[in-house]
Structure 1
Amino acid sequence: LDQESKMGWDEGHWAGNSDYDKNGKKRSIQLWRFDRPHMRAFHFAWLAFLLCFITWFAIPPVYPTLKKPKCADLSSDLCTGCLAKSWKDEDEMAFDKKCMVCAPKAIKNGAGCGGLGLVKDQVVLSNAVSVMGTILARIGIGGVADAIGVRASYSGLLLVCSIPAFCVAATDTYDSFTGVRFLISFIGASFVLTQLWTSVMFASNIVGTANATSAGWGNLGGAVSGALIPAVFKSFINQGYTNDQSWRYTLAWPPATLVFVSVCIWFLSDDVPQGTYKDLKRKEAEKKAAADYVDDGKDTGGEEPASVAARSIVLASRNWRTWMLFIAYAYCFGVEVSVYGNLALYFSTAYNLEQADAGLAASLFGLFNLFARSAGGILSDVLAKKGGVRGRIWANFLCATPMGVMLIIFSSLTKDANGLGGTLGCLCAWAFFLAATEGTVFGLVPFIEPTAVGGVAGIVGAGGNAGALMCNFSMRIGQRPAFCAIGWISLFSGLMMPLLWIPGVGSMFRDDSANAPAPIIVTKDVEEAPKARALPAAEPTPSAQMPTSQQPYAYAGYPGYPQSGMYGMPMAGSVGGPYPPMMPGMAPMMGSPPMMGMGSPPVMGMPYPGYGVPTV
């Protein structure tokens, strides 16, 4: 289809093409293509998220330099006297406690000057602040996207967040440095926009892969920043720049890429398959202005959006199983975010690696996002085919338990006893199981409280941010002890899985499927109904009163709910297909998709056609 020639198609535009569903969502991913609107949105989504991640975590790799004291004026009496002394070599002066402020180009750890003079407690607090803004931004960005569209939201977010990212290169005090890091942390909302964008562009049969791939490739930004930022810094040093100049120039280029991509997204992409958000609203207005317009009930009827959101959160928060997954996600994704801010400095101090080498070693951790998170989801799907939802509980247990064990082992390894090679091998095993655990946690989310899936997902996702805060603050006791403590808690998060009991499902060691509600109808798009809690009684909708043969969009086991993606919530990679909306008879929770590490999804103001909210 030539989608570049015209924006604002109607439903008939996709008729007869098996690669698109009735709402214009694409049923396949063709990575080699850059066509509008689907594949271009996909590539912009992961690329923008990757650059946001690089910008977000560009600072930790240069911590060894930022810990150096500020340089003194070389023409000062202090430096004149130091430079006049007879030293065996440059390193001797650079390591001298008094004269090190006169060595602006010394790059060895603990030598020379050119940083901000940060101490351990300041690094810990700075890392904690660097994730606080993300919590607020992820909660609010969905509402913004609902109001102005994903394209404008993403473009605006990149442009706005590039300002504090540029400013960090000009900071000269710890207070200004920490304040700017807080503002930069709002860029973490890019994850929500990335998942929302791919969700509205791809059909339910492939949306899980689209979301997992875009999220995984974006998360690679943590690994890229760990390897690339120190290399860029070193290149400036090799060109003769001082430490102070080099770290500032190094941190200035990531926000420049944000500005470039922001402009490209605005002019070269679309909000939905039907075109831009402006096109969509114009089409809705024309439809309602037509003389033969009949309300089809697909607007945001039902209760007020705020009421829907509030009730979903309340229902989810009252379910103790939600908080089990909150803990589980806090000590997988939360640990990952914390690691990005601490691992390079850990290798620099504990293994005496130079800044570039420490960043490269730490980058190995993030590389596992390329495939390990998807591996966890695949394991969850495989075990679900054998044991239903109980299989998904086993999948989490089998990933989270070794994750904790490997972190405990990692914290006990030392340079002298195990060498760098042994430590990196353990790091890789830990990184694999951690990313895989993230994939298994959200495989359980839709079965905890089926009438409040969005609320459960929001609380569980917020657990990731809460975990990052707790892990960062725990670094105050020292990195090695903190890693050990986090490892034991991570192990506990896996060992508590046998306690997870879901009515109608059971637990790891006990089957309760005999009490599961029987499916009422299975449509051609749904192969099995989810074994989860029965919905509370509700007034039958008009479609529920129809014969089942006349209910083309009935959910499996949930009659009367349209299967249109605008109301449905297909869970990517989950056996059983679509799931019910938040509350019977209410408008759906839209906006921020309940993905990893995000807050509660806001309510969508104007529904995208065919919108579905998957989880990865």
Structure 2
Amino acid sequence: MTRTFTSAKATRLNLKDFTSVPMRTFWITSVAFFLCFFAWFGIVPFMPDVVRDLGLSPNQKWNSVILAVAGTVFARLLIGKLCDKYGPRLCYTWLLLLGSIPVILCGLVQTPLQFLICRLFIGFIGASFVITQVHTSLMFASNIVGTANATSAGWGNLGGGANRLGMPLIAAAVIGMGVAEADAWRYSLIIAGIICFLMGIVYYFFTQDTPEGNFSELRAAGKKVKAGKKDEVGFMEALKDYRVWILFVVYAACFGIELTVYGTMDDYLQNTFSLDRITAGNIVLSFALMNLFARTLGGYFGDKFGKLKGLRGRVLFLVAILALEGVMLVTFSAITSLIVGIVFLVAFSLSVQMAEGATFSVVPFINKKAIGSISGIVGSGGNVGAFLAALLLKSKAAVAEQAAINANAGAAEEVVKLAQAEAAATAVSSGYFLIGILVFLAGVLALAIRFSTADEKSAAEDLSYDLPEQLVPSNA
């Protein structure tokens, strides 16, 4: 049966609309992104159980954190091109279907090596960010696409923290069904993988590539749905543009650090403040909940400063919020009071997520011929940042933990664990301090982003075109 599509790009983000193609896609892609991040970091609340069950050394534990973000770097660089060729609908479908496999297998592992391999391949579902941005961009007009992108990205990122509450709840449910507590983490991962698989089926049947139809149908009708040679030229221009690589570093300093905090904060809170796993997970969840509005807020203020001061205004806001992020992390790293620590953790959360939104309020104006390519490069910067930050923390924490274990060899198990926790807390604290300094310097580096007079003029013209008709002054 021939399908007919008559919908057009949405010009407003109507969250109460679940029926139009753009808004249905917005909701489904946001949920899919949420589930990908939920599964990606789903093992984090159970790491103490995994360490005990599989006998992971401190070195292996930190390698798992690094591998979880390493694979995503390459996946994000590749997935943008695949979206251009096959469309976001098929790409997301296959990402969810195939990405569910290592999540499920992670619940079946029996050796540290098997666990590390699964962690590497689970990281590929982090490329869901790029597909979400591409699909949302295809569904919304330029006057609202920034807000739509930031909102879907923020709500998807929420999954990385929501698992702190969701995974223990799943574990509690399976324990209530008679599963041994020691195996609850395995069943929880298997269930998370099955949910991702089912979401892949939903994505295939209930979304389409564009408001007008799927790429295959549009191509069959003789319509062009992929940028051709001009996009390739734009990609080469993007690689040569110093501003792209500054934004690469900037996104490494915000999204990359958020990923690192997602992966390490549970243990840090438990080790530093002697919290139990559930309490630490709930605090991290409050950090993640900021994604409900913080990233959108960053894009919103980026737009506001853009209206006041042009493209330079967008850059200046990015510089300010990134510098604030660095200051908050440095301050948090030195705090030993739980209440004060939570206050600064929330402040850090707000600033880091606003910096992410502010980054992508600048990206579309670097080179309009290569917005997709630039988004892919900048987006991969986030995972490079996470990889390097995790590597830094591992170099400090794994060595410190092993030294504490060796120094207390022969002592009671409880004494060894306490010494190991104290060593890890001190090492990660110093790591957070150093990372905060580097984030602040990345903010200073962003000052070097410049736009020509022609770019400023073009942006001002686009702004007037994107305003609703009733808000554009008449010449009469």
- TM class, shorter-chain normalised? 0.7 to 0.9
2:109 to 158, 168, 171: 171
Judging changes above 3 Å, is the alpha-carbon distance between structure 1 residues 158 and 481 closer, same or farther for their aligned structure 2 residues? same
Give the secondary-structure state (helix, strand or coil) at the position aligned to 1:444: helix
Aligned to 2:331: 409
Judging changes above 3 Å, is the alpha-carbon distance between structure 1 residues 400 and 503 closer, same or farther for their aligned structure 2 residues? closer
Aligned to 2:472: none
* Pairwise CA distance, 1:129: 0.5
* Pairwise CA distance, 1:310: 5.1
1:41 to 19, 25, 39: 25
Aligned to 1:342: 264
Is the counterpart of residue 120 in structure 1 residue 120 in structure 2?
no
Aligned to 2:435: 486
Give the secondary-structure state (helix, strand or coil) at the position aligned to 2:361: coil
List per-residue Cα deviations over 1:124-164 (Å, max 9, x = no partner).
Answer: 11111111221121122233333333222211211111111
Aligned to 1:547: none
* Pairwise CA distance, 1:312: 2.3
Instruction: Please identify which structure carries the higher helix content.
Output: 2
Aligned to 1:422: 340
Aligned to 1:328: 250
Aligned to 1:183: 121
Judging changes above 3 Å, is the alpha-carbon distance between structure 1 residues 34 and 173 closer, same or farther for their aligned structure 2 residues? same
List per-residue Cα deviations over 1:37-60 (Å, max 9, x = no partner).
Answer: 222211111011111110001011
Rg larger in 1 or in 2? 1
* Pairwise CA distance, 1:299: 7.6
* Pairwise CA distance, 1:349: 1.9
**Aligned partners of 2:279, 2:294: CA distance in 1, in Å?**
24
Aligned to 1:383: 305
* Pairwise CA distance, 1:168: 0.3
Which one-letter code corresponds to 1:41 in the other structure?
A: T
Judging changes above 3 Å, is the alpha-carbon distance between structure 1 residues 454 and 280 closer, same or farther for their aligned structure 2 residues? closer
Residue pairs, 1:534-573, within 5 angstroms = none
**Aligned partners of 1:172, 1:183: CA distance in 2, in Å?**
17
**Aligned partners of 2:279, 2:450: CA distance in 1, in Å?**
47
List per-residue Cα deviations over 1:354-408 (Å, max 9, x = no partner).
Answer: 2222211111221111111121222222222222222222212221122111111
**Aligned partners of 2:390, 2:374: CA distance in 1, in Å?**
25
Judging changes above 3 Å, is the alpha-carbon distance between structure 1 residues 409 and 240 closer, same or farther for their aligned structure 2 residues? farther
* Pairwise CA distance, 1:61: 1.1
**Aligned partners of 2:83, 2:368: CA distance in 1, in Å?**
25
Residue pairs, 1:187-266, within 5 angstroms = 187-237=125-175, 241-266=179-204
Aligned to 1:472: 390
Judging changes above 3 Å, is the alpha-carbon distance between structure 1 residues 348 and 445 closer, same or farther for their aligned structure 2 residues? same
1:352 to 260, 266, 274: 274
Identity %: 35
2:381 to 430, 454, 463: 463
Is the counterpart of residue 362 in structure 1 residue 284 in structure 2?
yes
Judging changes above 3 Å, is the alpha-carbon distance between structure 1 residues 473 and 488 closer, same or farther for their aligned structure 2 residues? same
Judging changes above 3 Å, is the alpha-carbon distance between structure 1 residues 191 and 232 closer, same or farther for their aligned structure 2 residues? same
Quick check: 367-376 or 384-393, which moved more? 384-393
Greater relative contact order, per chain length (Cα 8 Å cut-off, separation 6+): 2
* Pairwise CA distance, 1:330: 1.1
Quick check: 59-68 or 172-181, which moved more? 59-68
* Pairwise CA distance, 1:179: 0.2
Is the counterpart of residue 32 in structure 1 residue 16 in structure 2?
yes
Judging changes above 3 Å, is the alpha-carbon distance between structure 1 residues 31 and 384 closer, same or farther for their aligned structure 2 residues? closer
**Aligned partners of 1:464, 1:198: CA distance in 2, in Å?**
20
Judging changes above 3 Å, is the alpha-carbon distance between structure 1 residues 485 and 278 closer, same or farther for their aligned structure 2 residues? same
List per-residue Cα deviations over 1:493-530 (Å, max 9, x = no partner).
Answer: 223444x25253xxxxxxxxxxx2499xxxxxxxx623
Aligned to 2:92: 154
- Kept in 2, the 8 Å contact 1:25–1:273? The answer is yes
* Pairwise CA distance, 1:577: 6.5
- Kept in 1, the 8 Å contact 2:315–2:449? The answer is no
Which one-letter code corresponds to 2:87 in the other structure?
A: G
Aligned to 2:362: 444
List per-residue Cα deviations over 1:240-271 (Å, max 9, x = no partner).
Answer: 64343111112111111112221122223222
1:399 to 281, 299, 321: 321
- Kept in 2, the 8 Å contact 1:34–1:43? The answer is yes
TM normalised by structure 1 equals 0.66
Judging changes above 3 Å, is the alpha-carbon distance between structure 1 residues 265 and 325 closer, same or farther for their aligned structure 2 residues? closer
Aligned to 2:400: none
Aligned to 1:82: none
Which one-letter code corresponds to 1:493 in the other structure?
A: A
**Aligned partners of 1:280, 1:451: CA distance in 2, in Å?**
22
Judging changes above 3 Å, is the alpha-carbon distance between structure 1 residues 309 and 205 closer, same or farther for their aligned structure 2 residues? closer
Give the secondary-structure state (helix, strand or coil) at the position aligned to 2:265: helix
Which one-letter code corresponds to 1:530 in the other structure?
A: A
Quick check: 141-150 or 265-274, which moved more? 141-150
**Aligned partners of 1:308, 1:186: CA distance in 2, in Å?**
28
Judging changes above 3 Å, is the alpha-carbon distance between structure 1 residues 281 and 495 closer, same or farther for their aligned structure 2 residues? closer
TM normalised by structure 2 equals 0.84
* Pairwise CA distance, 1:239: 5.9
Aligned to 1:58: 42
Aligned to 1:8: 4
Is the counterpart of residue 134 in structure 1 residue 72 in structure 2?
yes
Which one-letter code corresponds to 1:8 in the other structure?
A: T
**Aligned partners of 2:213, 2:367: CA distance in 1, in Å?**
35
* Pairwise CA distance, 1:63: 0.9
**Aligned partners of 1:195, 1:455: CA distance in 2, in Å?**
12
List per-residue Cα deviations over 1:96-135 (Å, max 9, x = no partner).
Answer: xxxxxxxxxxxxxxxxxxx212232212111111112211
* Pairwise CA distance, 1:449: 5.5
- Kept in 2, the 8 Å contact 1:332–1:490? The answer is yes
Which one-letter code corresponds to 2:299 in the other structure?
A: G
- CA RMSD in angstroms comes to 2.6
Quick check: 438-447 or 118-127, which moved more? 438-447
- Kept in 1, the 8 Å contact 2:84–2:226? The answer is no
List per-residue Cα deviations over 1:451-470 (Å, max 9, x = no partner).
Answer: 65555444333221111001
Judging changes above 3 Å, is the alpha-carbon distance between structure 1 residues 238 and 266 closer, same or farther for their aligned structure 2 residues? closer
Alignment coverage as a number of residue pairs = 435
* Pairwise CA distance, 1:429: 0.5
Judging changes above 3 Å, is the alpha-carbon distance between structure 1 residues 277 and 503 closer, same or farther for their aligned structure 2 residues? closer
Which one-letter code corresponds to 1:64 in the other structure?
A: P
**Aligned partners of 2:455, 2:256: CA distance in 1, in Å?**
37
**Aligned partners of 1:148, 1:445: CA distance in 2, in Å?**
24
Give the secondary-structure state (helix, strand or coil) at the position aligned to 1:259: helix
> What residue ranges of structure 2 are gaps of 5+ in the alignment?
397-426, 467-476
* Pairwise CA distance, 1:36: 4.6
